[in-house]
Amino acid sequence: MKISICTVAPETFEGFLQGKVLQRAVRNGALSLELIDIRTFAGGSFRHLDDNTFGGGTGQVLRVDPVVKAIEAAKGGDPDAYVAALTPRGQVFSQKMARDLAELSHLVLVCGHYEGFDERIYHHVDGMISIGDFVLTGGELASQVITDAVVRLLPGVLKDEATQDESFETGLLEYPQYTQPADYHGDKVPEVLLSGNHAAIKAWRREQARLVTEKFRPDLLESDRKE
């Protein structure tokens, strides 16, 4: 899969690009990641990157012309490229959406910055994604969140079992997990996990996943019932 990220701040990806899982995905050919610097399409002048809003108001918005040029460069004529703008008005990101995006051959993510986009940029994208009901200073962190969630689902990046039982995949949160020591100052690992009885462990985990979900995210069970 190819992921192209259009951004005015490519330098903010430095740490993200050093992520172990991301690097492994690139190394084993599951992912090719490309940063497209929108500034290179602004004719070298900040005046051509963002500007005051027509009608007045504070803040600057990204201009349509360099962003559309960056989108076209990211697509590189690929008819299968899916372009998503990152914006609080988008569909709220979820594990289901991560699974759907992981099926794409080419995903182009477009990061907004400052006070947002010129409205006409939305005429050049296929969809909009928000990572939650809050406002970030730019789409860069949102693009990293989405890339992280998608890349770990690509074939060969993690062991298949690692992504099967985890939170949201089953409609429930993940069951509690433990490692050594079995007894931490009297706080003990549940007996059943030390029993070696695989059927009992499986049943315990299923029940615990339900209890954890009921306790911390009862809304997930509600939405399950509505479906």
Please, which residue, 31 or 136, has the CB nearer to ligand ADE? 136
Q: Is residue 171 close enough to count as binding ligand ADE by CB under 6 A?
A: no
Determine the Cα–Cα distance for residues 178 and 188; give it in Å rounded to an integer.
10
Among 6, 38, 110, 136, binds ligand ADE (CB under 6 A): 136
Part in contact with ligand ADE (CB under 6 A); list of ranges 42-50, 133-141, 183-191, 212-220:
133-141
Q: Is residue 131 close enough to count as binding ligand ADE by CB under 6 A?
A: yes
Determine the Cα–Cα distance for residues 217 and 197; give it in Å rounded to an integer.
29
Distances (CA, A) of 190 to 158, 198, 200, 216, 221: 28, 14, 12, 20, 25
Among 51, 120, 135, 191, binds ligand ADE (CB under 6 A): 135
Minimum gap (Å) between residue 121 Cβ and ligand ADE:
13
Opening angle at CA 144, ends 142 and 148, nearest 5: 120
User: If we measure between CA atoms, which residue out of 141, 112, 109 comes closest to residue 3?
Assistant: 109
Q: Is residue 203 close enough to count as binding ligand ADE by CB under 6 A?
A: no
Task: Say how many residues make up the chain.
Answer: 227
Counts of helices then strands in the chain (DSSP H, E): 7, 9
**What is the per-residue binding string for ligand ADE in 96-115, x denoting contact by CB under 6 A?**
----------------x---
Part in contact with ligand ADE (CB under 6 A); list of ranges 21-29, 70-78, 134-142, 187-195:
134-142
> Which residues of the chain form contacts with ligand ADE (CB under 6 A)?
86-88, 112, 130-132, 134-136, 139, 142
